[in-house]
C-alpha cells in the first residue's frame, strides 16, 4: 500500500498498547479506519464508524495521509514527496 508508512507511524504513535472493542487490536482498528477513509465518497468529511476509538492525533494523521495520497503528494515508496507538492502548488507539475 502506498501509505503503509503512515499507518505504521499512526500505530507507533499509539504505542500499540491498547486493545479496543471486543478483541480488535489498536493496529487492526487503525487499518480498518484507513480502509474506511479511503472508501468514503469525495467531499465526505464525516468520521467513519470504523474510526471510533482511535486517538484524535492518530485519526488526524490518517486523514492527512489519505489526503496527501489523493493529491499525488506521495512517492512510489508511500512517503511524502515535498517536490511533488511544490510542483502541484506552483503549477510546474502539469
Indicate the pTM of the whole model: 0.65
Cβ atoms of residues 91 and 84 within 8 Å: no
Higher pLDDT, 21 or 4: 4
Confidence band (pLDDT; 50, 70, 90) for 8? low
pLDDT in tens, 9-41: 555 455 544 444 457 899 999 999 999 999 999
pLDDT of residue 18: 47
Rg of the chain over Cα atoms, rounded to whole angstroms, equals 14
Q: Where are the domains of the chain?
A: 4-90
Q: Is the pLDDT of residue 42 over 70?
A: yes
Amino acid at each position: 500500500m502506498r501509505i503503509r508508512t503512515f499507518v505504521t507511524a499512526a500505530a507507533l504513535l499509539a504505542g500499540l498498547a491498547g486493545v479496543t472493542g471486543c478483541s480488535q487490536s489498536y493496529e487492526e482498528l487503525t487499518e480498518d479506519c484507513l480502509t474506511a477513509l479511503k472508501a468514503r465518497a469525495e467531499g465526505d468529511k464525516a468520521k467513519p464508524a470504523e474510526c471510533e476509538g482511535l486517538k484524535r492525533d492518530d485519526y488526524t494523521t490518517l486523514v492527512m495521509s489519505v489526503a496527501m495520497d489523493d493529491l499525488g503528494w506521495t512517492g512510489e515508496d508511500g512517503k511524502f514527496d515535498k517536490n511533488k507538492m511544490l510542483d502541484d502548488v506552483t503549477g510546474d507539475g502539469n
